[in-house]
A and B are shown apart, each in its own frame.
Chain A
Amino acid sequence: MPTRRELLQRSATLAALMAGVGVLPGIARADAAGYAKAAFEAKSMAELTRTLGLATPTESKDVAIQGPDIAENGAVVPLGASTTLPGVKRLMLLVEKNPAMLTAMFDIDEHVDPAISTRAKMGQSSNVYAVAVMNDGRVLYAAKEVKVTLGGCGG
């Protein structure tokens, strides 16, 4: 039985979809089932943690964010999130000054190392965060600044 919040989120998504379909008929666009759309629209760390129902994040030396100090082009910025702690549930990569902070989130269990690397688009120089959500509810993060010489979202 979907919660009221889920129903509201779904109707908001549906409204957006219908608006989209009106502009470009013929392209079927359906977000994947269970996709955390609202989380990927959150503009701040506070909004993100609220949307995902997470505790307030605290900085931790046991979480690491890998990334270059300078990215020649913001279109492709290698970012990695890792932690040495056991009991990680989820790893997330955030780019503070992007239109929405959340870039990607990975569900971690005993099958994989709690270390993920991918590449993000960054619109401008910004802090980037690796956030680890622990099984016991703690939310831990590490941050670094990545300078971008040429914004990577303009095409």
Chain B
Amino acid sequence: MRTTILAFAALTAATVASAQSKSAAEGIAEYRAMLADGNPAELFEAKGEELWKTRRGPKNASLEGCDLGRGAGVVKGAFVELPRWFADTQRVQDLESRLLTCMNTLQGLDAAEIAKTPFGKGEQKNLESLVAWIAAESHGMKFNLPQSQAAEKTMYEAGKRIFFFRGGPYDFACATCHGEDGKRIRLQDLPNITQHEGAGAAFGAWPAYRVSSGELWGMQRRLNDCYRQQRFPYPGYGSDATIALGVYMGVNAKGAESIAPAIKR
């Protein structure tokens, strides 16, 4: 028994010594690679596909007639072109606000109610699944947000202003964390969203399955949490401010590959 304990101790010492020769960043990259195969987001994707085709709501209709920008019912490739201008609502919309529109018009569900519902509860849970599946249908495709409409260009500029706007009790802006190269919080590298590579890494990674909570987060929830961390009040689910930020990030990410739904800490 004693020899076993000594063996354990010696093994521990040896293992610790070798672990320190690899950098923390390399270690984390290895860890993430190990998790890439078998992303629990796939469980949400399966639900999302089913929800898209299920008749629901007061109008007992499915979402198969929903236009995500490439025509009614066209899901493939839609994710990498959002946010974009929609003629029927006369708005630039991101994926989540567009889903609210469709859930409202096609299914008769109350969009305002859903927007007020806390993340992870009720219809918000269904949105998580829908967002996961719709993003997966564009997995590997390159971001190509349209900037042909005047409103789309305005939203880009608005998004840029909001990105750099400092406020709140700590005088933070999105740019405080995401406006320069080489920043990190603990062991998470912070992408520089003002640049193409960083924008691609950031915008192309959400929605994502967060292992720390075992939850699927869409971009709206991710932005909500950013605002919480900046000690700002949240702009509101599907609000123009959050959509404008999406346009700013997405256009900066033009040509980058979408890896959504990704897996995150």
Q: Do A and B touch each other in the complex, judged by CB within 8 A?
A: yes
Number of interface residues of A (CB under 8 A): 24
Name the contact of A72 in the complex, choosing from B16, B187, B214 (C-beta under 8 A).
Answer: B187
A interface residues with partner B (beta carbon < 8 Å): 46, 56-59, 68-73, 75-76, 78, 119, 127, 143-145, 147, 149-150, 152, 155
B interface residues with partner A (beta carbon < 8 Å): 1, 4, 7-8, 11-12, 15-16, 19, 22, 24, 27-28, 30-32, 34-35, 186-188, 211-214, 265
- Looking at the assembled complex, report how far the CB atom of A53 sits from the nearest CB atom of chain B, in whole angstroms: 16
Please list 20 pairs of residues, one from A and one from B, whose beta carbons are closer than 8 Å in the complex, sorted by A's number.
A56-B1, A56-B4, A57-B4, A58-B7, A59-B7, A59-B11, A68-B34, A69-B27, A70-B28, A71-B31, A72-B28, A73-B212, A75-B211, A76-B211, A78-B31, A119-B35, A143-B11, A143-B15, A145-B15, A152-B211
- Looking at the assembled complex, report how far the CB atom of A127 sits from the nearest CB atom of chain B, in whole angstroms: 6
Of all chain A residues, which has the CB nearest B25? A70
Say yes or no: A69-B30 contact (C-beta < 8 A), given A56-B4, A75-B212, A150-B212.
yes
Distance A2 CA – B19 CA, assembled complex (angstroms): 48
A144 touches B187 (CB 8 A): no
Chain B interface SS verdict (over half): helix
A residues near B212, Cβ cutoff 8 Å: 73, 75, 150, 152
B residues near A143, Cβ cutoff 8 Å: 8, 11-12, 15
- Looking at the assembled complex, report how far the CB atom of A14 sits from the nearest CB atom of chain B, in whole angstroms: 31
Of all chain B residues, which has the CB nearest A80? B34
Distance A75 CA – B214 CA, assembled complex (angstroms): 8
